[in-house]
Amino acid sequence: MMVTRMRVILNIFLVIALVLVGRLAWVQVVWGPDLAAKAQEQRARVYVDPARRGEIVDRRGNQLAYTMQARSLTVSPRLLRSELRQQQDLAMRIDGMSRADIDSQIDGRVEDVLVRMSEEIPRMIEDAGAITGEVKSQEILDKLHAETNYEVLVRNVDPDVATEIASTFHGVAADHQDIRQYPNGAIAENIIGKVSMDGQGQFGFEASGDAMLSGINGRSTEDVSTDGQVIPGTLRDVVPAVDGSSIELTLDLDLQTYVQQLLEQAKANSQAKSAEAVVLDVATGKVLAMANTDTIDPNGNIERQLEQGKDFENQPISHPYEPGSVAKVITAAATLEEGLTTPDEVHQVPGSIHMAGVTVSDAWDHGLVPYTTTGIFGKSSNVGTLMLAERLGEDRFADYLDRFGVGRPTGVELPNESAGLLPPREQWSGGTFANLPIGQGMSFTTLQMASIYQALANHGERIEPRIIESVTGPDGKVTSTTEPRRTQVVSPQTAETVVQMFRSVMQNDPGGLQSGTGANGAVPGYQTAGKTGTAQKVDPRTGAYSNSDYWITFAGIAPADDPRFVVAVMVDEPRAGVEAGGGGGQSSAPLFRDIASWLLNRDNIPASPPMEDMLILHAH
């Protein structure tokens, strides 16, 4: 009987042992990998090593945007609260508290720690003066309570202070963060743009060039203990960061500053809605300056500036308008290229012309006037321009519009560029051809306007405007940029003839007979060429052209005898002149004069030889 009992007991133990062994095997074989993975996941932390964003500089190496290191205080709220519970549970058990007491008090103790963190972190930052702006305790506490795995408590903290806070409070990390700096404030901000709080390009070149500037973040993985300490020897999966490329723009910061300030003053003097300008290098098509008024300062209060009407818009490429008479240069170039006229041909120009049911008049009343071809453009005669356009014909005129790039974007490396507006050839009516040659019925941007004049100044070759000078990778290697598209619009001989003809616009005849429409745009000591424009806006109430609201335009070349620069200007709805006290007449020519004078003097361009004879605009 004793033997039987022993056998029963042994069998019972054997069954128990088999169950335990089976259970252990189940845990190790079936549950084991999953449990190991979960344990690994709980203690493994992935760290991101942000790539440093490339800087943006002007053509002379002046910084336009660069990155300064700082720190962001971050937490994993769910993990933090879980680890705090473990810490408080262990501490209360060490103190000999019962399970019931621990369960009743643990939530309150965790909350006390969270509240202390939310109050002391802002205090430490404020005492050190380590950040601009207010850090609110309640906002931090809300983030500590969040049901998320990642929260940024405070951004842009001084690295030393951030490190001290991270070492003081369990679960807080001092993550690397880059602060984008714009040392020139609003200057060129319409071009540069800005980045978001997360370092992503939002506006301007920061957005269009984001892929080049941002680089590729690095990553690494390490294991941490329950108290947040890194476990030595667990660093793995290390992928180094690749910093972003640095970009050199074609902009000239000194020129950009001058032009931007000049436009702001012109807007104030003329009580205009806005003003803008573009300066191109003739030989390369590179953008030396591109400015508009009311550009926002990224270092200031953004919301307040937006309320004041400032913005991040780059109007010279995104806001097209009817150019008016400044576009007559296309008709001049086309008719000369086709051999349909000469600069000195005399035309008997009436006060109005009737074309396909449309009557077009000049801006001043006159009878039959003997204008030369040069005079038609120097005096800005609508009637004379249309007389020449009729010789050219609609099809050939449409071809020259295309050659000059009207109706399509220039391709400059910036976002939100407008193509402007040009009716398709198949949709032209007779009235269309009565408008287009004199700059009505189509629209283009100030950059497109500058590009047209660049082609004529550059021996008839149009070079698509570019804003990127060079790209330097993080390894220091300079990457070549894509060559701009080149188009031989007219012959070099025609281009030179047009430039010489359009000196007449700046000509000043004491008797008035041979004066051009932009005499106040002349630069003393230099020959210059260009064209004025006064484009009527459409009145939204009537659908007809307004007699009071205008776009005032000007595009010019300096110097005309050896072209170096093209300057294009637009002033929107001026109520007075752009010069001090509202002087200068209803013209943008004085802005061309001031910008061209500044450039010619700064770059020590030799003075032009004096003109031997006055150009004949009005034949006797």
Count Cα atoms within 13 angstroms, Cβ side, for 292. Answer: 25
d(CA 159, CA 300): 23
Three-state DSSP at 344 gives coil
CB 316 within 8 A of CB 290: yes
Spatial CA neighbour of 64 closest among 289, 350, 368, 276: 289
CB 518 within 8 A of CB 305: no
**Residue 537, C-beta contacts closer than 8 angstroms, at least 6 positions apart:** 322, 545, 546, 549, 550, 551, 573
In DSSP terms, which residues pair with 407 in a beta bridge?
Answer: none
CB 595 within 8 A of CB 567: yes
Q: DSSP state, 525?
A: T
Kind plus residue range of the DSSP H or E element containing 538: strand 529-538
d(CA 101, CA 363): 95
End-to-end CA distance of the chain: 149
In the set 274, 325, 380, 588, the catalytic residue is 325
User: Is 491 an active-site residue?
Assistant: no
Q: Where are the beta strands (DSSP E) in 467-522?
A: 468-472, 478-479, 486-488
User: DSSP H helical segments within 346-414, as ranges?
Assistant: 373-378, 382-392, 394-403
**Phi/psi at 496 (nearest 5 deg)?**
-65, -40
Spatial CA neighbour of 323 closest among 553, 164, 47: 553
Three-state DSSP at 238 gives strand
For 294, 427, 443, 547, the CA distances from 327, given in Å and listed in that order, are 27, 20, 10, 20
DSSP letter for each residue of 149-187? S-EEEEEEE-HHHHHHHHHHSTT-EEEEEEEEE-TTTTT
How many beta carbons lie within 10 A of that of residue 499, not counting itself?
A: 24
What are the catalytic residues?
Answer: 325
